Structure 1
C-alpha cells in the first residue's frame, strides 16, 4: 500500500491481517488523496489536516518528495490536535506519541510516512514486519498488477490482501497462477464515542485512538472480513496472533 498520513482504521486492519506490509513508497504521488492529508473532527464536523510539501507533483515518486522544512506547520498541527482532543478520554497517553511523530526530524515525505506508520503500529501492539519498496524492491519495468505479483513472489507470499476498493484493479487468476491467494479486506466499522451528532466512520486513526486508546483499539482493528473475488465465498476474519 502507498503510505498514508495517519490513515483510517481500515488501513491498520491490513497490517493486523498481514505478517508483512510492503510500504509502496516508490510510486507516484497522488494529489488530493490521503498521502499527506486526513480528517479529524473539529467543532463536530470532519476537517482536513495536512502535511505541507515541497514541489509535489503526480510525476514524482512519494519517496522523492520533500516536506516543507519550517517548524511552523509542525507546531500548528500539534496545537490543533491538542486543542481538538484535550478533553478526549485517552488524550494523556495518545497525544505525546502523535506530537513526537509530527516533530520527527526529517524533510523526506517518504521517510516521515514510514516512520509514523511503524511508530503507531508498535504503539497499538501490531507485530507486522514492514518492508520499504524503494529499498527492498526497487522499481523496474513492471507496473501495476505485474509489479505487485513480482513483489509477492520475491517476498515468498502465498496470500496477498488488498482493500475492498481494489477489487476492480486485479485479475485473480493471474495471482492464482503464481500460487498466490488474492483476498480483499472489508472493514466493518464499530461505533465509538465521538464529538459529533452521529457516528462518522473512516476518520483518521487519531480520532479513534483519542477515544478508546491503544489497547481497546484492537477490537476495532479486528472488525473486518476477508473475501475472495468472483464466485468465492466470504472467508471471514483470518487474523491470528
Structure 2
C-alpha cells in the first residue's frame, strides 16, 4: 500500500539479521528525503548501488557458516537488479517477488497508486482497507494478526467487508556457532539456515486464519 504516509526508521526500508557476537543488527536501505510529510510512493532510494554493496557486505559473516548464504545473497542482488525503478516501492516489490519465487509461492500483486482508486477523505487507519476492498469488489480482507487493533471489524462488516487475520508463529530453527538464535528476524536470516522447501512447508502448515473476535477474546 504505497498511498499511505511514509514512516521513517521503520521496517519500510530496514530489517534485522544476526550479528555473530552482538545479537541482531540492522540492514538499511538509505532513502532520499525521509519524512513523515511524504507518501510511501514518493520515497526514492539514495545510491542503490552503495546500498547493495553495504547489505551484501554485512551478510558476508554468514558465509561458510550458514548453508544457504550464497542463495540468499543472490536473492538480494536480484531484488536490486530486477527493480523497475529507483523507488522504495519498486525495490520492496522486487524483493517480495524474488523471495516468493525462491519459495515457490505464488505472488500476485498490484501497486495501489496505479489502480486509479478514489481514496480521498480517509480519516482512520482501518478505512484504507475498507475503501480499497469496496472499489476492487472484494468481500473479505486478510491482514496479519499483529495489526488487529488497527481495525474496526463491526464497521467493516456493516459495509460488506469481512475482516480475517493471518496468524503465523515465528519459526524456530538451529543456527551454528558463533551465532545465537534470535526469533522474528528478517526472512533473510530464516533462509540462511533453512531449505526453502522446509520454509514453504512451515508457512503452509502453520498459518491459521482467525476471526477478530478470537484475537480480542
Question: Residue 89 of structure 1 aligns with which residue?
Answer: 67
Match of 2:157 among 172, 176, 187: 176
Residue 227 in 1 paired to residue 202 in 2?
no
Question: Residue 140 of structure 1 aligns with which residue?
Answer: 120
Q: Could you tell which deviates more after superposition, 58-67 or 85-94? A: 85-94
Give the Cα separation in 2 of the matches to 1:120 and 1:202.
17
Match of 1:98 among 60, 76, 80: 76
Higher helix share: 2
Cα distance change on mapping 1:102 and 1:228 into 2, 3 Å:
same
Name structure 1 gaps, 5 residues minimum: 1-23, 235-241
> Paired residues, what number?
211
Cα distance change on mapping 1:111 and 1:101 into 2, 3 Å:
same
Per-residue deviation at 1:59?
Answer: 0.9
Cα distance change on mapping 1:158 and 1:32 into 2, 3 Å:
same
Residue 25 in 1 paired to residue 6 in 2?
no
TM-score (structure 1 length as normaliser): 0.78
Would you say the 8 A contact 2:48–2:80 is kept in 1?
A: no
Alignment of 1:62-73 (within 5 A): 62-69=40-47, 71-73=49-51
TM-score (structure 2 length as normaliser): 0.86
Would you say the 8 A contact 2:141–2:164 is kept in 1?
A: yes
Higher strand share: 1
Which SS does the other structure have where 2:143 is aligned? strand
Per-residue deviation at 1:140?
Answer: 2.5
Let me know the Cα RMSD of the aligned residues: 2.4
Larger RCO, structures 1/2 (Cα 8 Å, 6+ apart): 1
Q: Deviations over 1:119-170 (max 9, x none)?
A: 2122211113112111115442335222311211222222211122222221
Name structure 2 gaps, 5 residues minimum: none
Would you say the 8 A contact 2:72–2:191 is kept in 1?
A: yes
Would you say the 8 A contact 1:26–1:134 is kept in 2?
A: yes
Alignment of 1:2-81 (within 5 A): 24-44=1-21, 45-69=23-47, 71-81=49-59
